[in-house]
Amino acid sequence: MQNIAHTHDLIDSDPVITSGDDVLPLQTALQIHRVMVRTRVMEERMIKMSKSGEGYFWIGGPGEEAFNACLGLQVNRGAGPNHDYLHLHYRSSAVMVAMGMPLIDAIRQMAMRITDPFSMGRNFVGHFSRPDWNVVPVTSVVEIQYAMAAGTAIVQKRSGGEGITIVVGGDAGTAEGDFATAMVWSTRPDNQLPILMVVTHNNWGISTAACTQHGEKQILDRGEPFGIPGLVFDGNDAIKGWHAVRRAMAFCRTKGRPCILEPIVSRLYGHSSSSGALRVKNEPDCIELLEQKLVQSGLVTADQLRSVHEDAVAEVKAAVEQAMAEANPKPSDVQRFTYAPSKVDRVYPNDYTGLPM
C-alpha cells in the first residue's frame, strides 16, 4: 500500500489534546466537539420525528460525526472552481453543520417544509444542495457522485486554482462501477485530477455485511493499481481524523492528484428508519471517545461538556418548533426549479418542463 507522506504540522499554541503522535489545539478540539454534538442531537431528534409523524423517512450519519466534522471545518468553502466542490452523500450532515449550515435547514427538509432550502420540501432528509458553497445536489442513487466528481475536478484543473473536488461515499457503494470510473478518470496520463475520494467504511451495505461481499482487506487497496495513495485510519478518533483530512487535502492541492481516505466509522442507528433506527450498543461512539480525551486531559470538565449537549438540545427543540409551524409545499410546486430554461434546447427552447408547449 502506498501512503500519503506523513508530515507533522504541529501547532505551537497551548494547550493541546493528543492522540498517539497527533496533537490538536484544545480550541480546535472543542470546535469539532460542538459540531459533533449539535449534529448528533439533531439526528436523534430527526429519528423521533420519523416515528412520531412530524417527519417521514429518516437516514443519516450518527457515528460518522468525528470524521465529517473534521472534513467540513477544513473545506475551502465558496462558489466556483477556486473553491472546493463537494459531492456528498446522505450521511454527511456533520460536514454541512461544520461548514455553517443552520440546524433548522436540515430539520426543515426532514419535516418536508417549503422553507427547506435544499429541495423546498420535495426530497427526504440528507439531500443537501448549496450552489454558493459548491455543494452538488446529493442523490439517492448511491455512488454516482464518484463519477460526477471527475467533471468538477476537470474544471478545477483547467482553471489552475487551488480548489479540489471532494467526493464522499460508503464502503458498500464502492462495488458500483462509478467508483472505478472515478479512479480511471482521475489518473489518466498527463490528466490527473485533484480529487479527494472519501470512503466512510462502516462495514455495512444497508443490511448486508461487508465481509460477505468484499474480497479486498481494505477499500484503499483498490487504488494501488492506479497509483492512488491514501490512508486507512480510525474514523472515530477526531484528532487523527483532523490530521488525515489535512494531509490528504494538502496532497490533492499541491500535487493536483487524487488520493483516497478510508475512515473506519461506526453506524450507531442502523441504515435508516426503514430498519427501525434503534441504537446499536456494541460499536464505539466517537463523541464519547473525544469527551474521554478532553476530560482526561484535565483541561475540560464534564460539566462544561454537558452544557454543550444542553445547548444543542435547546437549539434543536426551538428549530423543530419553528419548522413545524411553517408551510408545506403545494402540489403545484412539484415542477418548480426541477428544470431550467435552456436556450440550447433545439426541441423545446425556453420550456423548462422539457415538454411540448
Confidence of residue 346 (pLDDT cuts 50, 70, 90): low
From the centroid of its chain, how far is CA 265? 13
Residue-wise pLDDT tens digits, 7-52: 444 445 579 999 999 999 999 999 999 999 999 999 999 999 999 9
- Res. 329: pLDDT tops 90: yes
Specify the pLDDT at position 14. 73
Q: Which of 310, 266, 303 is nearest to 287 (CA)?
A: 266
Q: Torsion angle of alpha carbons 97, 102, 103, 107, nearest 10°? A: -120
Top-confidence residue, 140 or 125: 125
| Residue 179 grid cell | 467508483
Integer Cα distance of 313 and 306 in angstroms: 11
Average pLDDT estimate for 244-249: 98
- Other C-beta atoms closer than 10 Å to the C-beta of 80 total 14
Specify the pLDDT at position 3. 41
Residue-wise pLDDT tens digits, 168-214: 999 999 999 999 999 999 999 999 999 999 999 999 988 899 888 88
Domain ranges of the chain: 16-329
Integer Cα distance of 307 and 211 in angstroms: 40
Specify the pLDDT at position 350. 63
Architecture of the domain whose range is 16-329: 3-Layer(aba) Sandwich (3.40)
Specify the pLDDT at position 160. 93
Specify the pLDDT at position 8. 45
Q: Which of 259, 253, 87 is nearest to 156 (CA)?
A: 253
Integer Cα distance of 231 and 322 in angstroms: 42
Specify the pLDDT at position 334. 82
Average pLDDT estimate for 331-338: 81
Confidence of residue 1 (pLDDT cuts 50, 70, 90): very low
Residue-wise pLDDT tens digits, 202-241: 999 888 998 888 888 899 999 999 999 999 999 999 999 9
